[in-house]
Amino acid sequence: MALEAIEKLLQSEKTTFIGGSSGLQAKRACTIQSHLALINVQPKVMDLHWQWGGRQLHSWTHNWVLKQELPQSLAGQYA
């Protein structure tokens, strides 16, 4: 269900990403989509992602599955 939701979001013409269609948020959404697709095909792929710094990817995907929210960059938001 989460994979279908992110695919609909990416294909929708009404979707506007912070930074545009080639910005950081759009790239993260594509990464989440790829991660969910891999999990559906091969559940053991998670071990591979943990080796490649996939903790952040896992947290993005987990946040998407639970809240349907895309990650945002914190750049420029200093105290």
- pLDDT tens readout for residues 15-35: 888 888 888 888 888 888 888
What is the model's pTM? 0.65
Is residue 72, in this structure, part of any structural domain at all? no
The pLDDT > 70 percentage for the chain reads 78
Give residue 57's region: left, alpha or beta (phi > 0; psi -120 to 50). Answer: alpha
The three-state DSSP-derived secondary structure of the chain is CHHHHHHHHHHCCCCCCCCCCCCHHHHHHHHHHHHHHHHHHCHHHHHHHHHCCCHHHHHHHHHHHHHCCCCCCCCCCCC
pLDDT given for residue 77 in this prediction = 61
pLDDT at 9: 87
15 within a domain of the structure (yes/no): no
Q: Which residues constitute the domain of residue 51? A: 2-9+23-66
Domain count along the chain: 1
Q: Does the residue 37 lie in any domain? A: yes
Amino acid at 46: M
Confidence of residue 59 (pLDDT cuts 50, 70, 90): confident
46 within domain boundaries: yes
In a domain, 60, yes or no: yes
Q: Is residue 51 part of a domain?
A: yes
Give residue for tokens 């013409």.
13
The larger pLDDT score, comparing residue 27 to residue 47, is at 27
